[in-house]
Structure formats: C-alpha cells, structure tokens
C-alpha cells in the first residue's frame, strides 16, 4: 500500500527549499569551483568570463547568506578576498556529484543548445 506524503505549506517543501537555495544562473558553477578549492574573488572572476562583477558579487552574497560559503581574507597587500565552502556547503558534495552526472547525461541527449549558465 502506497503512503502519500503531504506537506504543510506553512512549513515549506524541502525540495523547493533546496532548489531555491541552489537556484540561480551561476550558483552551480560557483559551487563547483569552490568544491575544487578555495578561490580568491579575482580567480572566480577570471574563470567565469561571461559573468559581470555585479552578478558574481550578488551570487556570492546569496550563497554566503545561505551559509553555504564563507568569505575570508588572504594575507598580502592589497587585501584579497577569498571564498570557500562552509561545512554546510561541503555537505552538498554528494548532491552536486549526482546533479553533475544527471546534467552531463541530459546535455548528451542534445536537449539543450547551451552548456553555459
């Protein structure tokens, strides 16, 4: 016998909460880069040439506000801002790996014209 799960809209849907937090044109790419290593702002900017400074800053602020990344400072002059995953962000690793595999299979079907956000 199948059991149906219902959600109280006042409590929210966990899938919607996850999609809302990870949603955004560039958040997936930013998280993927930060899974590989901590990055300075300038390095992220260089690796994402189609992304404006304004949009990168906005996406980073949202990821930081959601507790997925942290902003730090690298030694030196001038002061360099760095970004890294928080433990909560690192918990996304299995999900990001699954989403990467699904996305690669989806793109291989030729169902989309673009591979960039």
Residue 115 lies in a domain: no
Residue 6 domain-assigned (yes or no): no
Q: What is the CATH number of the domain that holds 75?
A: 1.10.10.10
Query: Does some domain include residue 1?
Result: no
Answer yes or no: is 26 within a domain: yes
How far apart CA 57 and CA 53 sit, in angstroms, is 6
117 pLDDT higher than 60: no
- For the chain, the helix, strand and coil percentages under 3-state DSSP, each to the nearest 5: 50, 10, 40
**Does residue 53 lie within any of the structural domains?**
yes
Q: Which domain holds residue 97?
A: 15-108
The answer to whether residue 23 is domain-embedded is: yes
Query: Number of structural domains, the chain?
Result: 1
pTM tops 0.85, yes or no: no
pLDDT tens digits, residue range 45-82? Answer: 999 998 999 999 999 999 999 999 999 987 777 888 99
Whether residue 70 lies inside any domain: the answer is: yes
Give domain status of residue 7, yes or no.
Answer: no
| Mean pLDDT over the full length of the chain | 86
Contact status, residue 69 vs residue 89, Cβ threshold 8 Å: yes
């Amino acid at each position: 016998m199948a059991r149906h799960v219902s959600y109280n809209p006042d409590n929210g849907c966990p899938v919607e909460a996850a999609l809302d937090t990870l949603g955004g044109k560039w958040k997936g790419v930013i998280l993927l880069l930060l899974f590989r290593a901590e990055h300075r702002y300038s390095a992220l900017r260089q690796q994402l040439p189609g992304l404006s400074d304004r949009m990168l800053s906005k996406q980073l602020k949202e990821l930081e506000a959601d507790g997925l990344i942290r902003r730090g400072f690298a030694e030196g002059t001038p002061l360099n801002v760095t970004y890294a995953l928080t433990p909560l962000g690192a918990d996304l690793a299995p999900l990001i790996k699954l989403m990467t595999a699904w996305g690669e299979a989806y793109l291989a079907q030729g169902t989309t014209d673009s591979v960039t956000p």
